[in-house]
Structure 1
Amino acid sequence: MSKYFAVLTIVVMLGMVLTRALLMQKQGIEAINFGKIDKTDFLIVPFALFYFYTVFAATFNFPTISTQEFFDSKVISWVGVFFCLAGLLLLLWSLISFGQSFRIGIDTEHPDKLITTGVFAFSRNPIYVAFASILFGQFLIFSSWILLVYIGAAIWPFHRQVLREEDYLNKYYGNEYLEYCDQVRRYL
């Protein structure tokens, strides 16, 4: 049963982000700016699609590279469901807190105000924390070495993007952003 929650997590996660982007597009705001600054961002897409397939394959017994698991524990699997649910709730809170400032990628042409309230009063990057929680939760559900590799591999592009965003925010907002950084941690 917990495996179905892993699949549902991916569907809900993508649904929340894409729905938010589409609603903003209807208001004339281009929320998807992915790959505009660095075209290598598009290398993330095939890795994400393979990850999604891996989770679906493990759930619905599709062909996959490996079905080997590190452990088989229903309790740990349900702890994984908790992490997935926590990640989804954090993502939802992040999207709500972002308001009209939500973007996928850096929007240098139409920046909005610096968001420091809501969940952003506790973490400067709650969406990345949400994604990490979901990745960890799905690893606990499936305990696959492939998903463990994905956790390790995801750290680099997440952190790279955070550093790029921080550089942009520092240049655009200056002292306001630096004061925010002094008050709120980067992740947790």
Structure 2
Amino acid sequence: MTRYIAVATLFLLVILVLSRAFQLKKMGIKAIRFGEMDKKDFLIPPPNWIILIYIFTGTWLVNRQILLEEQSLKKIYGEKYMEYCNKVRRFL
């Protein structure tokens, strides 16, 4: 499952960069021309809010998975797992 998410993320990132390059080309700005010192020629990374959405979504998914695993471990091991939880922290 994680491989699919990684592939989808990389694919979407490439799509975003290419779509932005095509938008710049329509406006007459040539992207990806390195070596020239003109201020209008540069490669624009995707907007910061997209990266933030990925970070928040990834954090939420990991936390959700941990909570689900903790519930199942409580059912399986009971009191021994609760003693273990008191000895160790959840996150590093």
TM class by shorter chain equals 0.5 to 0.7
Stretches of 4+ aligned residues off by more than 4 angstroms: 44-47
Partner of residue 63 from structure 1, selected from 18, 32, 53: 18
Q: Tell me, which stretches of 5 or more residues in structure 1 are unaligned?
A: 1-33, 35-43, 71-143
| Residues 170 and 177, structure 1, Cα contact 8 Å, conserved in 2 | yes
Amino acid at match of 1:169: L
- Distance in 2 of aligned mates of 1:65 and 1:182: 51
| Paired amino acid for 1:53 | F
What is the CA distance between 1:69 and its match in structure 2?
A: 6.2
Which stretches in structure 2 are left out of the alignment for 5+ residues? 22-43
What TM-score comes out, normalization by structure 1 length?
0.30
**Distance 1:155-1:65 versus aligned 2 partners, 3 A rule:** farther
% identical aligned pairs: 35
User: Is 1:168–2:72 an aligned residue pair?
Assistant: yes
**CA-atom RMSD in angstroms:** 3.4
Distance 1:54 1:181 in 2: 39
Q: Which protein has greater RCO, CA pairs closer than 8 Å, 6+ apart? A: 1
CA gap 1:177/1:145 in 2 versus in 1, 3 angstroms? same
Deviation at 1:158, TM superposition (A): 1.2
C-alpha spacing 1:45/1:68, structure 2 compared with 1 (3 Å): same
Structure whose CA Rg is larger: 2
User: Aligned partners of 1:166, 1:47: CA distance in 2, in Å?
Assistant: 24
| Residue 52 in structure 1 maps to residue 10 in structure 2 | yes
Cα distance per residue 1:14-68 (max 9 Å; x no partner): xxxxxxxxxxxxxxxxxxxx7xxxxxxxxx776443223356x3xxxx6256934
Q: Cα–Cα, structure 1 residues 54 and 182, in superposed 2: closer, same or farther, change >3 Å?
A: same
How far apart are residue 166 of structure 1 and its match? 0.2
User: What TM-score do the two structures reach when normalised by structure 2?
Assistant: 0.54
**How far apart are 1:150 and its partner, in Å?**
0.4
Q: AA paired with 2:68? A: R
Q: Deviations over 1:109-143 (max 9, x none)?
A: xxxxxxxxxxxxxxxxxxxxxxxxxxxxxxxxxxx
The amino acid that maps onto 1:63 is L
